[in-house]
Amino acid sequence: RYIDAFLNASFADTHKTLLSILSETEKRIDFDRLFVENISDTKNLIMPIDFTEDKRYQENISEMPDYLQKNSLAFKCKDLNIFEANNLISPIPAFAQKSFALGHIYLGNIDNSILRQQDLFICYKDKVFPSLSMQSFIKYNNLSLEDVFNQFYNKSIFDLLQANTTGRVYPNFNVISNLKYFSFGDLLSGNIDSSKIKDKIVIVGLNSPRLSEQIKVSQGREVSRMFIHGVIIQNLIDNVYLQRPSNFIFFEIAFLLMIIVIIFLGIFKWGKLKILPFILIIFWIVLSTYLFYYKNYLLQITYPIILSFLMFTIFKLRKRVYEKDDIQKMAKDIFTTNNLKVIIGAKSDIGRIRAKNEDSYSIDKSFGILAVADGVGGNVGGEIASRMAIDKMRSYIKDNYSKFSSDYSQLMKNAIIFANNYVYGFAMSNSELKGMATTLTAGFIVGSRLIIGHIGDSRAYLYRNELLEQLTEDHTVAVEKSIRNLSTDDFEKMRHVLTRAIGIGESLDVDTFELNLVKGDILLLCSDGLYTMIKEDDIISTLKVYEDPEMVCGALVNFANKNGGKDNITVITAFIQSIH
């Protein structure tokens, strides 16, 4: 205040300001002298000392004065499991020498801006110093510092203080309402009844928010340091604290491990586990809050939850790395025709629900054959049927290619009929496989021509000029009813009921057609496990993002799995480029 006045004063008023400063200094010196004279006859006064980690306050104490020696115990700090301070803020020697005892007022253990615990003892330069609260407790109970600390160090003090092994207690701030406080105005006006403070511990200090630092404590309170020491003294006397039993750490570790295991399992197959970690975390927060507010128990909220989210993030990043590695390992084939280069990627996945993968696919670079087959779910031998149909269709094209000089649509149709007859005959001759069936969608690239052969509800798409066109028509009850303008009330159920499939009969009506491929086209073949889980807009956005067929296949399969993965998922993408 006086410095501001001095800096802002005019030259004429400077002498007045200097006189005011000197007058105030003289009053302060007189006050200190008066204070020392008055405490000379006081036998129970405990004065504060403070420790800090701020190097600006560091004092070079080569040899501790007597008043510090008598208020400490000699111990090697490295041998103790208690807080070791770096620096000491010494009290005014005259005050310290006249007081009964000294106690530290260090409140360094503030966790997340909230005071949860206080050090009952601090070690400094191989000396152990008790807190102001502990000194008050010792004096109040006529104990000795050495006896109390020895009991503490031997851990028998647990029965007395319920402290933990680091020499800290967790204050129970519910006792604040039991503390009585008076202002200096009450003292000066004589409004304090001396009987109210007789044989009581009295703390003198600043309490006003404007004059003293306010520290957050439990239950949303903000109190002065003076009140914190008062609460801890009351806790020591009543032997009631915010307790933290030693087995709580095992509960916290068990909770953390449980979250980690659930997250780890969720990496591979979330299903209904997806929401479980969040339910457990909410439960933990509610339980910790209840114990903290109503039962005076401290169960850590912050660390397990932060570590849980940290582990969740790590596993998610690790999953992304694995997904990237999986995509890098996927099949990648390149073949050329007379004027085109075809770059192919493929992936088949079991999905999230099915017990086995009944899809099959094939890439034959030597003849430019691509095929996807989906063994009919629920039928015996679906996996065998899909693999067998692709193999027989492909072998027929290879064996009879030279017989069809240009009518490749007929070649494709004959190949699928041949595959159907073989699968049907094989099933009829093996009773345990009777009824096995499969879909089949195949592409045969000759020069710049693409010949499509199709049966069932697998699909072929062509992506050209940022538009996605479905080339095939699903052979299902729902689609055929829609074409005939019949009722489709049960569309979702009927959309999976096939009207045509390989292996269900001797005769088969095969869809075939052809088109010319151009540079920039993308051909996509897939089973219904893909398009039932992903919207066409999502397929388009994926094709726009990735420039590699392997990446497209991996991203689409992952997308379908994240949306539920209710069926096996198989996808082939072929990027058409100029041979040059």
Cα distance between residue 391 and residue 186, in whole Å: 101
The Cα-based distances of 256 to 303, 382, 528 in angstroms read 9, 43, 40
Question: For the chain, which residues score pLDDT lower than 70?
Answer: 1-42, 53-62, 108-116, 152-167, 187-188, 218-220, 243-244, 263-275, 293-296, 301-305, 307-308, 311-312, 314-332, 377-380, 481-495, 580
pLDDT at 493: 60
pLDDT for the residue numbered 159: 42
| Rounded Cα–Cα distance for residues 227 and 229 (Å) | 5
SS3 content of the chain, % helix, strand, coil (to 5): 45, 20, 35
Output Rg (C-alpha) for the chain, integer angstroms: 42
196: tokens are 């109210």
Q: Give the pLDDT score at 77.
A: 79
For 378, 507, 521, 522, 531, the CA distances from 461, given in Å and listed in that order, are: 27, 27, 10, 8, 11
- What was the pLDDT predicted at 370? 96
Report the DSSP pairing between strands 440-446 and 369-374: antiparallel
Q: Is the dihedral of CA 144, 145, 151, 152 positive or negative?
A: positive
CA-based nearest residue to 276, from 264, 289, 294, 292: 264
For residue 299, the one-letter residue type is L
* Residues near 5 by beta carbon (within 8 Å), at least 6 away in sequence: 17, 20
Tens-place pLDDT, residues 246-301: 777 788 788 877 777 776 665 544 555 566 777 777 888 888 877 776 666 777 76
In angstroms, rounded to a whole number, what is the distance separating the alpha carbons of residues 396 and 138? 99
Residues 423 and 385: beta-carbon distance below 8 Å: yes
Q: In 10 A of CB 565, how many CB atoms?
A: 23
Beta pairing class for 168-169 and 118-119: antiparallel
What lies within 8 Å, CB to CB, of 333 at 6+ separation is 343, 344, 363, 365
Give the H or E element holding residue 260: helix 248-268
Look at the alpha carbons of 142, 143, 145, 148 in this order and tell me if their dihedral is positive or negative.
negative
- Per-residue confidence (pLDDT) for residue 327, from 0 to 100: 43
- Residue 163 confidence (pLDDT): 42
pLDDT 10s digits, 380-417: 688 999 999 999 999 999 999 988 878 899 999 999 99
* Helices 248-268 and 302-329: angle between axes, nearest 10 degrees: 20
Q: What is the DSSP letter of 358?
A: -
Across the chain, mean pLDDT equals 79
